[in-house]
Amino acid sequence: MARVKVYSTGICPVCDKTKTLLSKWGIAYDEVRVDQDQTGLREFSQITNGARTVPQITIDGKWIGSFSELTELHMEDGLDELMQ
């Protein structure tokens, strides 16, 4: 099980971009397709306090936010710290 989880849908270009970046950075992730998985959708809603947009990212069960927050965290070297 990967430490990073990406909540996404099948028609979201930003979700695809997020997964591509994580792969480029060498970070393994699990994907939860909230458009296909009702249990995943409930988990998504609970962990993100009712977020309505995807992608949403968690690391070790802690909600990080969306693509913008992930890239910001990476640019500030905070992602490296969380992944150690």
**Span 26-83, pLDDT tens digits:** 999 999 999 999 999 999 999 999 999 999 999 999 999 999 999 999 899 888 777 8
| AA identity, residue 84 | Q
Predicted TM-score (pTM) of this structure: 0.92
Write out the residue range of the structural domain in which residue 40 sits. 4-83
What CATH number does the domain containing 56 carry? 3.40.30.10
Query: Which pair of structure tokens corresponds to residue 23?
Result: 């792969």
Give 25's contacts (C-beta < 8 A, 6+ positions apart): 74, 79
How many domains does the chain fold into?
Answer: 1
pLDDT band at 7 (very low <50, low <70, confident <90, very high): very high
Q: What is the 3-state secondary structure (H, E, C) of the chain?
A: CCCEEEEECCCCHHHHHHHHHHHHCCCCEEEEECCCCHHHHHHHHHHCCCCCCCCEEEECCEEEECHHHHHHHHHCCHHHHHHC
